[in-house]
């Protein structure tokens, strides 16, 4: 091998090692992004599977949904809304020193059509608490989000 080839091979190995050795916070950020992609695609099974068996989702203006069955029902209601588009992005991700828990927080935006076909929009903030599983993956333990849109005036 020529010196240039050796240098190129070493650089490739170094880049691969850096990509493989993600920080815990980046791993958590990636889990959050994967959950957002599943939800945006209206993939009910993947959206629910991102949650731990005993997870709780605390939506605005609705009761808490705890466990896969209740979360599936909640998400089904979202996915039933015509023209639903939902996106969110973590602006912060932190992992406890123990490595067992972490959280992500950020902003969300949702557009939809109501039952009468009238366009609607909501945007706000969220906090998701994640729990590391025995296999090393992250699953949602608690998710809460609430709107920045003021309530309608009478």
Q: Which residue has the tokens 């691969």?
A: 16
**Does residue 15 surpass a pLDDT of 50?**
no
pLDDT of residue 26 exceeding 80, the answer is yes
Question: Comparing 151 with 34, which gets the higher pLDDT?
Answer: 34
Give 9's pLDDT tier (boundaries 50, 70, 90).
Answer: low
What DSSP string describes 38-83?
Answer: HHHTT-HHHHHHTEEEEEEEE-TTS--EESHHHHHHHHHHHHTSTT
Q: Spell out a b/e string for 114-141, using b for 16 or more CB atoms within 10 Å of the CB, else e.
A: eeeeeeeebeeebebbbbbeeeeebbbb
Residue 39 · residue 145 · CB < 8 Å:
no
pLDDT in tens, 31-84: 999 999 999 999 999 999 999 999 999 998 899 999 999 999 999 999 998 889
Distance CA 48, CA 73 (A): 10
Look at residue 17 and tell me whether its pLDDT is greater than 90. no
Tell me how crowded residue 79 is: count the other CB atoms within 10 A of its CB. Answer: 14
Segments making up each domain of the chain, as ranges: 23-147
What pTM does this model have?
A: 0.82
pLDDT of residue 5: 62
Note the pLDDT of residue 97.
96
The CATH code belonging to domain 23-147 is 3.10.450.50
């Amino acid at each position: 091998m020529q010196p240039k080839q050796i240098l190129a091979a070493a650089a490739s190995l170094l880049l691969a090692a850096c990509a493989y050795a993600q920080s815990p916070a980046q791993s958590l950020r990636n889990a959050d992004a994967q959950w957002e992609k599943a939800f945006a695609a209206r993939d009910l099974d993947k959206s629910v599977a991102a949650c731990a068996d005993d997870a709780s989702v605390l939506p605005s203006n609705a009761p808490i949904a705890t466990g896969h069955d209740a979360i599936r029902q909640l998400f089904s209601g979202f996915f039933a809304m015509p023209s639903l588009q939902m996106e969110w992005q973590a602006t912060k991700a932190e992992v406890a020193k123990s490595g067992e828990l972490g959280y992500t927080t950020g902003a969300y935006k949702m557009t939809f059509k109501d039952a009468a076909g009238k366009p609607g929009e909501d945007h706000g903030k969220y906090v998701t608490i994640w729990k590391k599983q025995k296999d090393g993956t992250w699953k949602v333990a608690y998710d809460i989000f609430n709107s920045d849109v003021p309530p309608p005036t009478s």
